[in-house]
Amino acid sequence: MSHILPNKLREQAAEQLAALKGKELKPKDRLMIPLQEMPSQAPEKRIENMKEVALGYFEEQVKVEAARCLQCKNAPCVKGCPVAIDIPGFIKAAGEGDYEKSLGIIKKTSLLPAICGRVCPQESQCQLYCTVGKSLKNVEQSVSIGRIERFVADYARQQGKLSVPPCKADTGKKVAVIGSGPASITVAADLRKEGHRVTIFEAFHKPGGVMIYGIPEFRLPKEIVQEEIDTLSQMGCEIRRNFLVGRTRKLEDLLQKDGYDAVFIGTGAGLPKFMNIEGENLIGVFSANEYLTRVNLMKAYDKERSDTPIYNARVVAVLGGGNVAMDAARSALRMGAEKVHLLYRRTEVEMPARVEEVAHAKEEGILFHFLRSPVRILGNEADHVRALEVLEYQLGEPDESGRRRPVAVKGSEYQMPVDTVIVAVGNNSNPLIEKTTPGLETTKWGNIIADENGKTSMDRVYAAGDIVLGAATVILAMGEGRKAAAAINELLSNQ
Amino acid sequence: MNKIVYKKKLSDDVYRISFEARDIARERKPGQFLILQLDTDFGERIPLTIADADPEKGTVTIIFQTVGKTTHILATYNVGDSIANVLGPLGQPTHIEKLGTAICVGGGIGVAPLFPIAQALKQAGNKVVVIMGARSKELLVMEDEMRAIADELVICTDDGSYGRKALVTEPLKEYCEKDPKPDLAVAIGPPIMMKFCAETTRPFSIHTVVSLNTIMVDGTGMCGGCRVTVGGETKFVCVDGPEFDGHLVDFDNMMRRLGSYKKQEDEAHHQCHLDLKIKEMEK
């Protein structure tokens, strides 16, 4: 995919739109309408700034893209959505230019459309089931549901039409929400609307969780996350920053001493996995969490003003194939690295990262090495990274997940000269709450055990999001959060 | 929030401050630390050990040395000023039990975090021997507090300006050679001091606890920047520590890792001195 200038995309869409005007479109006609590409900053420009890469559709593009939707009666896309948004409904409204109505339809089930429109892996959710993609035998040709979602959410923001949801009369019940990522934001909003008093406890100095410390500005502008947080404050949720439940106050004390009637745990998957290979504690080896936190939350990209230093990486190897790996690789490039390699154990098809992020990373010049895995990290006499020893793999028989298992090629080791290694092979859940809360049951991987309503082994304690699911997505965290909020509301209403 | 209620300059570059932090004052236990940040948008987060706390008044005391940009700016804060962000208490509390004789070795401002530990060991019924060291007399901190709780107190200075002219490892070795030997050693101070304390006690097989202060960002286990090698395994200082078995810590790797950002830190430090000077001149 080569980069097309945004204005060109707009012109094309305007022409296509004019051609569609007044026509009665049959499904066959709709399938002929070309997919609208996402306007984006030119690759050579954007690697020099932290601004958002994808610029969002033009209005003309939204109307053309919406016309591609077949408005299927059975709406297979809805089944692919973790929160079952009425997708044909909101697309129809958007196509008619009624963006307010469109957003209203989304907001019935999704609380964070501006965020999900940007970071959802649509190609493996709603768009995977889209009839258009199926008919054209290419999931990448599916209706761009996420891009339309993003447009209607941004439109309302730009028009200043974001409203603070009304909240019912005070019930006098108090809920503690631990963490301030997507699951917690959802629970806080839903419970506040029901009239309960909500306090959010965030360990960092800024709320927003992974959307603030992890996902970079160039993929999700922090302003958007901040607006969601501001909405919570305006609704009357109290946000206590610099408060680590488990250390600043035990979870049990919140219930027993501080008068909270229920607790929601949404602390996410925040414990970085390392590979346990030789040389991982050399200087120049970072978890993606650390690297991204320095760049994003601590604003190390603003070298003039930020006090947090960032390692002077010239040649980088990023290990992993998920969104976090893409974020780390692309951040390193923006921080001035000359060369960024990305190593993944399987092939491109199996990479869990969003297709758009992979495409963007390629355009920006990230060097992908598939079927490669690190063996050890080599250092110089001062313990600084000097090279990565890499082993080649081949695809063998399918494993339990159905994906073909990578098998090491004997004797294929070689050295790749690098000065920085960023490990992005996943996160475990942070064990702090589990360790400091006797009676809270977890799996052997440290995930909190919760039923389908988020209820944990402890009375009046609920959990959802990555702390239950393991590292997953914003939309899943939000969807599970809604269920937990409903269960908490029911508990509090029956008391 | 976090309003400073007490400030004292202890020496040229060492300060003692107390500030309001009700939750931390209530929950903190010996061995734990906190993270502070002076500017919510652009400040760095730095870990500092807790020297003392008053749960009644809801205040926490820290002793810090001006070594980088943040500590330099903090030193310019006065009573009534507030620290933007303080998170704590962090890390595992010290394991306190009655063992017999505990020998507590503190170097420089390492005496500050050592004090609550020594105090707790004393309260648990141990005989507490304190060895305090500093480059010179002016750099000794918390002598009075330590004297009040220690059964025996030895002071060493590098230049002989006060107490014995010796490194702390000298009296430590003498105590190790005594019969009965100490049951526990706790050493807190510069990494090199902790390393040599551990080497001193090793031949005597005296369990030696050290408290590590590494580079950190969040302090909650999220970044892994603080990782150290202990007994061949990777540990996070912020959640697994800050205390570890000194005989198992790879101090050489830890000290090198501490220098990861040395160039940037030196530049920031230099710039900070210039800025502070300009501010002073403007006054």
pLDDT in tens, B52-62: 999 999 999 99
In a domain, B211, yes or no: yes
Residue A47, pLDDT score: 93
For residue B100, the distance in angstroms to the closest alpha carbon of chain A comes to 29
The separation between CA B104 and the C-alpha centre of its own chain, rounded to angstroms, equals 13
Mean pLDDT (chain A, rounded): 94
Contacts of A261 (CB under 8 A, 6+ apart): A173, A174, A175, A196, A255, A460, A492, A495
- The confidence band for A1, taking pLDDT boundaries of 50, 70 and 90, is low
DSSP states along B204-244: GT--EEEE-----SSSSSSS-TTEEEETTEEEEHHHH-SEE
Mean pLDDT (chain B, rounded): 93
Q: How many residues does chain A have?
A: 495
Q: In chain A, what residues touch B220 (CB-CB under 8 Å)?
A: 203, 244, 270, 430, 432
Contacts of A123 (CB under 8 A, 6+ apart): A139, A140, A142, A354, A355
In a domain, B115, yes or no: yes
In a domain, B9, yes or no: yes
| Angstrom distance (rounded) from CA A34 to CA A40 | 18
For residue B219, the distance in angstroms to the closest alpha carbon of chain A comes to 9
User: Do both B170 and B111 map to the same domain?
Assistant: yes
Using the Cβ of B268 and the Cβ atoms of chain A, whether some distance falls under 8 Å is answered with yes
Residue B277, pLDDT score: 74
> Is residue B242 reached through a cis peptide bond, with omega within 30 degrees of 0 on the bond before it?
yes
User: Do both B63 and B129 map to the same domain?
Assistant: no
Q: Do A311 and B222 touch (CB under 8 A)?
A: no
Q: What mean pLDDT do residues B220-246 have?
A: 94
Using the Cβ of B239 and the Cβ atoms of chain A, whether some distance falls under 8 Å is answered with yes
Sign of CA dihedral A297, A300, A306, A309: positive
User: Do both B22 and B51 map to the same domain?
Assistant: yes
Q: In chain A, what residues touch B36 (CB-CB under 8 Å)?
A: none
Using the Cβ of B232 and the Cβ atoms of chain A, whether some distance falls under 8 Å is answered with no
Instruction: Please report, for chain B, how many H helices and E strands are present, in that order.
Output: 9, 16
User: Do both B150 and B170 map to the same domain?
Assistant: yes
- The 10s digit of each residue's pLDDT in A381-433 is 989 999 999 999 998 888 887 778 889 999 999 999 999 999 999 998 888 89
| Segment holding A398, helix H or strand E | strand A385-398
Residue A483, pLDDT score: 94
> Structurally, how many domains does chain B consist of?
2
Contacts of A284 (CB under 8 A, 6+ apart): A311, A313, A384, A385, A419, A420, A421, B260
Q: Do A203 and B27 touch (CB under 8 A)?
A: no
Contacts of A11 (CB under 8 A, 6+ apart): none
User: Do both B29 and B122 map to the same domain?
Assistant: no
In a domain, B276, yes or no: no
Residue B259, pLDDT score: 85
Residue B277 to residues B7, B79, B89, B267, B273, Cα–Cα distance (Å)? 21, 21, 34, 15, 6
Q: In chain A, what residues touch B42 (CB-CB under 8 Å)?
A: 299, 302, 305-307
For residue A395, the distance in angstroms to the closest alpha carbon of chain B comes to 31
Q: What mean pLDDT do residues A92-111 have?
A: 93
| Angstrom distance (rounded) from CA B267 to CA B275 | 12
Residue B261 has pLDDT above 90, yes or no: no
Whether the Cβ atoms of residue B227 and residue B144 lie closer than 8 Å to each other: no
In a domain, B273, yes or no: no
User: Do both B83 and B127 map to the same domain?
Assistant: no
| B35: containing domain | 2-90
Residues 23-62 of B with CB under 8 A from A: 23-24, 27, 37, 39-45
Residue A164, pLDDT score: 85
What is the second-level CATH architecture of the domain A272-427?
A: 3-Layer(bba) Sandwich (3.50)
Q: Do A283 and B257 touch (CB under 8 A)?
A: yes
Q: Do B27 and A213 touch (CB under 8 A)?
A: no
Q: Which CATH class is domain A174-270+429-494?
A: alpha beta
User: Do both B83 and B177 map to the same domain?
Assistant: no
For residue B67, the distance in angstroms to the closest alpha carbon of chain A comes to 14
Instruction: Give the closest residue to A89 by CA, choosing from A109, A106, A65, A107.
Output: A106
Residue A50 to residues A47, A314, A373, Cα–Cα distance (Å)? 7, 18, 29
Q: What mean pLDDT do residues A195-216 have?
A: 95
Higher-confidence position of A444 and A362: A362
Residue B278, pLDDT score: 74
Using the Cβ of B261 and the Cβ atoms of chain A, whether some distance falls under 8 Å is answered with yes
User: Do both B79 and B172 map to the same domain?
Assistant: no
| Angstrom distance (rounded) from CA A51 to CA B194 | 46
Q: How many Cβ atoms sit within 10 Å of the Cβ of residue A184?
A: 29
Helix residue ranges per DSSP H, B16-110: 22-27, 69-76
The domain limits of chain A are: 6-158, 174-270+429-494, 272-427
- The confidence band for B260, taking pLDDT boundaries of 50, 70 and 90, is confident
Q: Do A270 and B220 touch (CB under 8 A)?
A: yes
Whether the Cβ atoms of residue A72 and residue A88 lie closer than 8 Å to each other: yes
DSSP E strand stretches across B135-280: 152-157, 164-165, 184-188, 208-211, 227-230, 233-236, 243-245
Residue B49 has pLDDT above 70, yes or no: yes
Q: Do domains A174-270+429-494 and A272-427 have the same CATH topology?
A: yes
Q: What mean pLDDT do residues A444-464 have?
A: 95
User: Do both B13 and B133 map to the same domain?
Assistant: no
Instruction: Give the closest residue to B242 by CA, choosing from B163, B171, B187, B167.
Output: B187
Tell me, what CATH number does B105's domain have? 3.40.50.80
Residue A445, pLDDT score: 86
DSSP E strand stretches across B117-207: 127-134, 152-157, 164-165, 184-188
Q: In chain B, what residues touch A430 (CB-CB under 8 Å)?
A: 220-222
Q: In chain B, what residues touch A243 (CB-CB under 8 Å)?
A: 23, 87
- Which residue of chain A has the CA closest to B45? A308
Sign of CA dihedral B135, B138, B141, B146: positive
| Angstrom distance (rounded) from CA B8 to CA B52 | 14
Residue B243 has pLDDT above 90, yes or no: yes
B279 burial (CB, 10 Å; 0-12 / 13-18 / 19+) is exposed
Whether the Cβ atoms of residue A434 and residue A449 lie closer than 8 Å to each other: no
Q: In chain B, what residues touch A420 (CB-CB under 8 Å)?
A: none
Q: Token pair of A198, please?
A: 């909500």
Q: Do A432 and B257 touch (CB under 8 A)?
A: no
Q: What mean pLDDT do residues B11-27 have?
A: 95
User: Do both B242 and B166 map to the same domain?
Assistant: yes
| Angstrom distance (rounded) from CA A207 to CA A114 | 17
In a domain, B263, yes or no: no
A275-279, A420-424, B82-86: the lowest-pLDDT one:
A275-279
Residue B265 has pLDDT above 90, yes or no: no
Q: Which CATH class is domain A6-158?
A: mainly alpha
A420: amino acid identity, one letter: T
Residue A494, pLDDT score: 86
- The confidence band for B283, taking pLDDT boundaries of 50, 70 and 90, is low
Residue A134 has pLDDT above 70, yes or no: yes
Q: What mean pLDDT do residues A95-106 have?
A: 95
- Which residue of chain B has the CA closest to A273? B224
User: Do both B36 and B132 map to the same domain?
Assistant: no
Residue A431, pLDDT score: 85
- Which residue of chain B has the CA closest to A298? B42
Tell me, what CATH number does B9's domain have? 2.40.30.10
Q: In chain B, what residues touch A223 (CB-CB under 8 Å)?
A: none
In a domain, B277, yes or no: no
- Which residue of chain B has the CA closest to A428? B222
CA Rg value for chain A: 23
- Tell me, what DSSP letter sits at residue B203? G
- Best interface-test mutation with B: which of A244, A293, A301 has the largest number of B CBs within 10 A? A244
- Hey, is A40 helix, strand or coil? strand
Write down the pTM of the prediction: 0.93
For residue B159, the distance in angstroms to the closest alpha carbon of chain A comes to 31
